[in-house]
């Protein structure tokens, strides 16, 4: 499925006014996880800058023990510090990777900015090695821009 075909559905979900922002984010996670074959787990982590931790607030896929991640630890923690996209074609090649599941082969993490501050990120795990392209990065940056509007 072409990622851009999901944009109208993302926009519709985020425009809802009868559910909380985190409920809308869970719906976005579910939409992406169910419609992009190589998005096996999709989640939004949000930063607590004072504690220097990330907190899982919405996700779709298998439950994870990684609901709080220290800044700097794992791929997500590194993005909290670097403020840059991080695409990992093969998680086994990463020294600072937190294993969530033996089925995870690759990961993409895109920071979420609000008013120029990195407030969180979207994190996607795949059971396939190296599935993520620049189109995924562009699409997920767009998703995060839309999400920032409702926060």
Domain boundaries, the chain: 3-150
Average confidence (pLDDT) over 105-132: 97
- 3-150 is classed in which CATH architecture? 2-Layer Sandwich (3.30)
Ranges assigned E (strand) in 1-85: 41-48, 53-60, 68-70
For the stretch 58-79, pLDDT in tens is: 999 999 889 999 999 999 999 9
pLDDT confidence band for 91 (50 / 70 / 90): confident
d(CA 119, CA 61): 22
Contact in structure between 36 and 75 (CB atoms under 8 Å): no
- Sheet harboring 86-88: ordered strands across? 68-70, 53-60, 41-48, 117-126, 106-114, 86-88
Does the structure show a pLDDT above 90 at 97? no
pLDDT computed for residue 99 by the predictor: 62
* The token pair that represents 120 in the structure block: 């969180």
Which pLDDT score is estimated for 100?
A: 64
**pLDDT, the chain, mean:** 94
pLDDT band at 103 (very low <50, low <70, confident <90, very high): confident
What number is the average pLDDT over the span 24-41?
Answer: 98
In sequence order, what are the beta bridge partners of 54?
Answer: 47, 69
Strands (E) across the chain are located at 41-48, 53-60, 68-70, 86-88, 106-114, 117-126
pTM of the complete model: 0.95
Nearest to 137 by CA among 94, 83, 85: 85
Share above pLDDT 90 across residues of the chain, in percent, rounded to a whole number: 87
In angstroms, the Cα distances linking 141 to 34, 83, 94 are 19, 12, 23
């Amino acid at each position: 499925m072409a990622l851009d075909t999901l944009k109208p559905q993302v926009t519709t979900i985020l425009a809802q006014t009868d559910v909380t922002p985190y409920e809308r984010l869970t719906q976005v996670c579910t939409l992406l996880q169910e419609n992009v074959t190589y998005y096996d787990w999709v989640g939004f982590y949000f930063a607590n800058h004072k504690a220097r931790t990330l907190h899982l607030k919405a996700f779709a896929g298998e439950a994870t023990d990684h609901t709080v991640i220290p800044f700097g630890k794992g791929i997500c923690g590194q993005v909290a510090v670097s403020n840059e996209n991080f695409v990992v074609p093969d998680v086994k090649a990463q020294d600072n990777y937190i294993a969530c599941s033996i089925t995870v082969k690759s990961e993409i993490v895109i920071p979420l900015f609000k008013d120029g501050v990195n407030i969180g990120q979207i994190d996607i795990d795949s059971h396939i090695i190296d599935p993520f392209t620049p189109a995924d990065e562009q699409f997920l940056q767009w998703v995060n821009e839309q999400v920032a509007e409702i926060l």
